[in-house]
Structure 1
Amino acid sequence: MAAARESLLDAAGAALARRPWPAVRMVEVAAAAGVSRQTLYNEFGGKDGLARALVRRAADGYLAGVERALAGNGGDWERLTAVAEWTAAAAQEDALVRALLTGCWSERLPAPPRGPAPVPAQRRPEPPLPSPPDLVRIVRDRAVTALSGPGTAPAATVELARSCELVVRLALSCVTAPPGEGGIAGLIRTAAPRTAL
């Protein structure tokens, strides 16, 4: 069933790229995925469940990219800059990621899922989707974990957390107002204290 789920999410994402979410029809998504409409309903429970899963996949994909940037080559500063560049690029490429990071949901997108969703009997409930402040905190905490070594003093960890959050927030500002000359790396070099890293 995992293959059918991914095919359905791919088909829903492709449909969303062509038209606003209210105009996306479940029967068309099922046909594009090569499964029955009943399979789609069994998997997601309905259009709201499909929307929730589509947004969840966007959030998970964004956070996986953060992990790749933090695991990359280079020093701490380069890896943190890579997180900022990934954040801006992911938001530019994917409207769902942009909405998750900024909280700005247009009528073209599925409405941001609120509260618990009805879950098909054979599925487990999904955890709530992260809000923009949740995502800042998650990325900051993952960066601190990746960049702090064993035995890091508590005061140094606090300063590192401040620097990581500043870089994440600078990246988010670049989502709505792209940086000028020097790009995100130049902006970060100017604004964030390197000494914390």
Structure 2
Amino acid sequence: MMPAARDLLLDAAYAALTRRPWYAVRMVDVAAAAGVSRQTLHNEFGTKDGLARALVEREAAAFLAGVDRALAGGSDPHPRLTALVEWIAAAARDNALVKALLTGCWDAWLPRVEQAAAQPDAAGDRGDGRSLSPAGVLAQVRDRAVAALSAPGTAEPDVVDLAGTCELVVRLGLSCVAAPPGEHGAGDLVRAVLRRCRPDRAGHRG
């Protein structure tokens, strides 16, 4: 199946952003790269600000889908939380828009998007209606982690405050975005923290 015009346009806009700053990206060039008319571009997004908004929302949705994948494997919560932190660090390293969403640092190269609530797409799964600010994105990641680790079939997380532990882990992931851990990877850091969350099982590697 051929991608829809909207997806083609967003792909073209993202590709353009990897080559030049957003202020230098022209709507006519995005339309040409996507193989559609400029009118189609305007029909989909209205203005360049609308295109920027949609592009950031799509990257936010893809990041959150990766969060869900990281949390999906196995029943032991510790490897899943470790995978979550590793995903946060990798996604921010590989995608400047994701890094900006997580840190709030939007440099001149990137489109600046107001931090209003993201609008859900037709399937209802883009943005969760939450703010695109770092606090809003963090809350979504934390809540998804809590939901995943509370699901039937998941082992008891061995912590008194699951929500607090998930928030601590997510904030650890954000610290790895702001200051990459270097020799000790994100996974090693979160494993050390999680061992301390269940001191009665300090020898467990998770």
TM-score range, shorter chain: 0.7 to 0.9
Structure 2: runs of 5 or more not aligned: 119-126, 200-205
Match of 2:181 among 176, 179, 197: 179
* 1:60 and 2:61 matched: yes
Gaps of 5+ in 1: 118-125
Instruction: Specify the SS of the correspondent of 1:179.
Output: coil
> Does the 8 A contact of 2:52 with 2:111 survive in 1?
yes
Structure 2 equivalent of residue 195 of structure 1: 198
From 123, 141, 162, the equivalent of 1:139 is 141
Judged with a 3 Å threshold, the aligned counterparts in structure 2 of structure 1 residues 146 and 33 are, in CA distance, closer, same or farther, namely: same
Pairwise CA distance, 1:49: 0.3
Aligned partners of 2:18 and 2:188: how far apart in 1? 32
Counterpart in the other structure of 1:110: 111
Please name the residue that 1:81 is paired with. Answer: 82
Q: CA separation in 1, counterparts of 2:192 and 2:74?
A: 22
Identical counterparts, % of pairs? 62
Query: How is 1:90-109 mapped onto 2 (pairs within 5 angstroms)?
Result: 90-109=91-110
CA RMSD of aligned residues (A): 2.5
Instruction: Name 2:18's counterpart in structure 1.
Output: 17
Q: What is the number of equivalent residue pairs in this alignment?
A: 185
User: What is the CA–CA distance in structure 1 between the aligned matches of 2:188 and 2:15, rounded to whole Å?
Assistant: 35
Shift of 1:176: 1.6
- Output the TM-score relative to the length of structure 2: 0.82
Q: Kindly provide the amino acid, as one letter, of the partner of residue 185 in structure 2.
A: G
> Which residue does the alignment assign to 2:122?
none
Q: Sort the Cα spacing of 1:114 and 1:146 in 2 relative to 1 into closer, same or farther, 3 A.
A: closer
Q: Does structure 2 conserve the Cα–Cα contact (< 8 Å) formed by 1:144 and 1:160? A: yes
Structure 2 residue corresponding to 1:170, chosen from 138, 155, 172: 172
TM (norm. structure 1) is 0.85
**Higher helix proportion, which one?**
1
